[in-house]
Structure 1
Amino acid sequence: MPFLAVACTQEPPIASTPAEPAALAFEEKVINVPGFADFLTVDGNTVWTTNDGRVEQWSTTKKLASVAVPRPCGTMTLDFGSLWVANCQGGEVYRIDPETSAVLAKIPAGMGPSGELNIVATAGAIWAPDQTAGAISRIDPRTNSVVATIKVSPATSYLAAGFGALWAVSGKAGTLQRIDPATNTVTHTIKLGEMPGFLAAGEGAVWVQEQKDGTLARIDPKTVEVITRIKVGESLKWGDIDTGGGKVWLRTTDDQTFVVIDASTNAILAREGKPEGSGALRYTPEGIWTSAHDVHTLTWWAAEKD
């Protein structure tokens, strides 16, 4: 398997940001959710969340569905007419019909043990990290079976898809790897800052939380180089990230609920909400979903119209 190391000749600059960003216009609606609502996946005008021993579908007013999963963990994906959920207790990927809530398949894929992970869909496949093996499983949704295994950095668990590639981060190894889904091979490996975590591919770049450094690394998807770093706070541990609408949306645990970053200028545009501990975030054009499992809530942040 080819590993092409890419290194910058000098340290990328830290982007300058406004000291007091103005608040954006959101209407906040808090929804009480018993248990441990955590990772989120948008389904139309509703959202699926992992919870204790189940995944649930919620609207802004009520719970719509619940499906038993022994230990749902990490960010789910919705594609090929199904919801794909990691089960960290048995190591399987659960395939669920979002219309009927029926479990269609349980696919052994070595999920876990840490719940900090992503399942993603791209190139006609579902991709699931096997942290223990240091590998990523490629699942064919036509057969519900693993059809390829890609060796990656030890303990790789964070995935994103975009720009014709699969992107994989290992917090333990401190690496970002680019994987070509046409060949199932790693094409680039670069080092990141301290304790890299969740990432997103969109709005012109690959964005990775450097959790211990409190920075957001911006990677050029063509050169696979870090081109800048945005200082967000003292820490970005246990948060989440998404892109959309020309912006990067960053769930945080310190100082606020989430941060909004302009993807064209790298400027912090807003810091929204009060600190709510660990949780997830997902963007939609109509607004933002966030979770806060320590206070047992989901929040819908409706974007106010001009």
Structure 2
Amino acid sequence: MKTSIALAALLLGACSAAEADPADGDAANGGYAEQVIEVPDFADFLLVDGATVWATNKGRIEQWSTMGKVTSVAVPRPCGTMAMAAESLWVGNCDGGELYRVNPRTGEVLEKIPAGIGPSGEQNVVAGAGSVWAPNQAKGTISRIDPETNTIIASIPVAAGTTYLAYGFDALWAASGEGGTMQRIDPQTNTVTDTIELGKTPGFLVAGEGMVWIQEQGDGTLARIDPETRTVVGRTKVGDNLKWGDIDTGDGKVFLRTTDDQTFVVIDAASAEVIARVGRAEGSGALRYTPEGIWTSAHDVHSLTWWTAASN
């Protein structure tokens, strides 16, 4: 298959960060080197699969490595974060509302489960507690899907406009940008146990590094919620806003994809302080952490980027 890759060889072969001109190269990228991969159309949400990454795109999802495109699977309108569970990839389709189950090894579509996904383009599908979870925006519920039967086994009423989900600390966390809240759902009872008031336009969230971290997109802040007390324990000011973007955690850090000012921000999870601002502003896109490096997408400039720290 035909692929086009810009390997950014000057960056990969450049001198160390200590020797670099701080105006460019690794030093200007917060100690990260970048490998840019050209991706036609609209690469957006990401899911790590070993040494590769899956990306939603226009009318399809695609699997990429640093060497190029691996495969492509037709999905009419993939529209949000994907999940890996039960040896399958799960992705929402906003043109029809189904949850697609895909074999990630063969690219075969195994099942299309009516789940009411959509119509907005930011519908988080996540996995946890032996289930796959997806928002039903029209009904104001979250669907819990059993991978053994490919059926919805629970529909949980939540705040209107809830589309952002994350699983961690033995609970599902669900945010509504419209309602300005995040709710905790107990998978043992399939009920909302807590509703947490947040700032302007909460968005993408992640449960990791001891906290639940969530964008307050309208305020330009990242809020952190203690999963034990279910209260906001602090905020980190990142920029004028945090519209769109993405978030992930790992290695004692929070990685926040931004739309303005830079590609992503690195936050120390212990101190909640910004410790690096990496790359140039590329418009909106997604981000996923791996121990080997960071994947980002930038649909406005039609690219994926593989970032590696100087120490790697």
What TM-score does the superposition give when structure 2 sets the normalisation length?
0.90
Question: 1:138 aligned to 119, 126, 144, which one?
Answer: 144
Partner of 1:285: 291
Partner of 1:17: none
SS at match of 1:157: strand
State the shift of 1:23 in Å: 5.4
CA contact (8 A) 2:29 2:279 kept: no
CA contact (8 A) 1:212 1:237 kept: yes
Which string of whole-angstrom CA distances, capped at 9 and with x for unpartnered residues, describes residues 145-196 of structure 1? 1011000000100000000100000000111000000110100001100000
Partner of 2:54: 48
CA contact (8 A) 1:23 1:269 kept: no
Question: 1:304 aligned to 302, 307, 310, which one?
Answer: 310
Q: Write the mapping of 1:1-306 to structure 2, written as runs, cut at 5 A.
A: 24-305=30-311
Q: What is the CA–CA distance in structure 2 between the aligned matches of 1:277 and 1:25, rounded to whole Å?
A: 21
CA RMSD of aligned residues (A): 1.1
Which runs of no fewer than 5 residues in structure 1 stay unpaired?
1-20
Which string of whole-angstrom CA distances, capped at 9 and with x for unpartnered residues, describes residues 190-217 of structure 1? 1100000000000010001000100000
State the shift of 1:38 in Å: 0.3
CA contact (8 A) 2:28 2:278 kept: no
Counterpart amino acid of 1:104?
L
State the shift of 1:304 in Å: 2.6
Q: What is the CA–CA distance in structure 1 between the aligned matches of 2:241 and 2:139, rounded to whole Å?
A: 28
Q: What is the CA–CA distance in structure 2 between the aligned matches of 1:131 and 1:165, rounded to whole Å?
A: 20
Counterpart amino acid of 1:126?
V
CA contact (8 A) 2:59 2:75 kept: yes
Q: What is the CA–CA distance in structure 1 between the aligned matches of 2:181 and 2:140, rounded to whole Å?
A: 12
State the shift of 1:24 in Å: 3.5
Q: What is the CA–CA distance in structure 1 between the aligned matches of 2:47 and 2:111, rounded to whole Å?
A: 19
User: Which is bigger in relative contact order (C-alpha 8 A, separation at least 6)?
Assistant: 1
Q: What is the CA–CA distance in structure 2 between the aligned matches of 1:298 and 1:212, rounded to whole Å?
A: 26
State the shift of 1:75 in Å: 0.4
Which runs of no fewer than 5 residues in structure 2 stay unpaired?
1-26
Number of equivalences: 286
What TM-score does the superposition give when structure 1 sets the normalisation length?
0.92
Percent pairwise identity: 68
CA contact (8 A) 1:22 1:270 kept: no
